[in-house]
Chain A
Amino acid sequence: MTTSTTTRTIVRTAIAAVALTLALGACTGSDPSTPRDGPEVPPPAALESPAPSGTGALVARSSTDLAVFARPGDATPTQVLPATTEFGSARALLIDGSDGGWLRVLLPTRPNGSTGWIRRSDVELRRVDEAIEVDLSARTLRLIVDGRVVVTAPVAIGTADNPTPTGRFYVVDKLATGDPDDTYGPIAFGLSGHSLELGEFAGGDGQIGLHGTNDPATIGQAVSHGCIRVRNDVILRLADLVPLGAPVVIG
């Protein structure tokens, strides 16, 4: 056996050993699709692991006052939602069901999780491929677009006395405060959910917000009255990517 042949034999033996090791390792249940999330929260806009939810939601848009009914086919509405919110945002309602020419929508009213029915012919439909998920225990937020996590960021959440409510909500308002040093930062999203503890706050009805902050040191802590705070660069990024009606799941 020549030196060259001996070398090749050694290499092939090594390859066989490595292959055997890999084959045995594959039997231990290791998963190549395991998310690469590490202990550190990456900066916003970092491309992360795929997410199983958050795409293809339907949103009803209306430019006129919108009648809401208790049941499909009812003749008399239970309420009429103005064409815009109290802050001037266009009306957008997240749809979670349908029945013939009727759509069931999540209402931005108390109690959280309220639903009502609207006529399909009264609204325009838009598909929303963006969704926000807030993990209260991890105090992190993820923006999912087309099934992929495109933003991950730490958040501040409500205190034990004024906890951030959990559930499936959506973006009702996108407001520009005009001042990055504002307590809400430069941008504030109004959500469809409300505080379970506060019936009124700062002249409002206890609506939960997702907004920036002038005190970034609070991010990662449970310090708010129920709102979700993020760094200003994060809320600016979200404002560029998230439309009205986008689902916000808090859990």
Chain B
Amino acid sequence: MNLNPGTRTLLVAVTVAGSALVAPAMALAETPAPEGPIGPVDVANPIDEPEPEPCDDPGDCLTNPTEPEPCDDPGDCLTNPTDDPDDGGDDGDPGDGHDDGDGTDGAPPSDIDEPVPAHPTFTG
């Protein structure tokens, strides 16, 4: 077949790239299988390896998205109140947990106020 140099280079590149993807899969296929029963196919939990520990570390949840319990939402870990993203410095914000002398830190949570019996005159 008569191919110009550019086409020939392209074909070689495609062939090499394809081989690079297929080779690891073939290597895995040739690996001797361990003895014992075949369990459910679980990509996240390879056969014969113990189940992962429950996710009690919010940071671990972020790096282990396949762990569904109890942190099934990585965002939940971000807002976990045990996390303190603050760097410990006082930036002057009221109520940020750093005492800047204005007495705004450590305020107790607000009670839920009961509605007052009245008829409004809001814009409706």
Contacts and interface: CB of A to CB of B under 8 A. Distances in A.
A, B: real partners: yes
Interface of A: 5, 7-9, 11-20, 22, 32-33, 49-50, 56-59, 61, 87-90, 92, 95, 97-103, 120, 125-129, 146-148, 158, 162, 173-178, 182-184, 187-188, 190, 195, 198, 201-204, 206-209, 211, 224-227, 239-245
Given A87-B116, A88-B116, A97 B94 contact: yes
B73 A18 contact: no
Contact of A16 (B24, B81, B123): B24
Nearest to B32: A5
A226 B29 contact: no
Contacts of B104: 58, 95, 98, 103, 120, 125
B122 A184 contact: yes
B53 interface: no
A217 B101 CA distance: 52
Interface in B70-124: 73-76, 78-79, 81, 92, 94-96, 100-104, 107-124
A127 B28 CA distance: 57
A148 to B, nearest CB: 7
5 contacts: A33-B74, A100-B101, A182-B119, A195-B123, A211-B122
Interface residues of B, number: 46
B119 A18 contact: no
B123 A201 contact: yes
Chain A binding site: helix, strand, loop or mixed by DSSP?
mixed
B16 interface: no
Given A88-B118, A99-B102, A125-B104, 7 more contacts: A16-B25, A19-B43, A95-B95, A97-B94, A184-B119, A209-B120, A243-B110
B120 A184 contact: yes
A243 B121 contact: no
Contacts of A243: 110-113
B11 interface: no
B2 interface: no
A9 B92 CA distance: 63
B107 to A, nearest CB: 4
A5 B65 contact: no
A89 B113 contact: yes
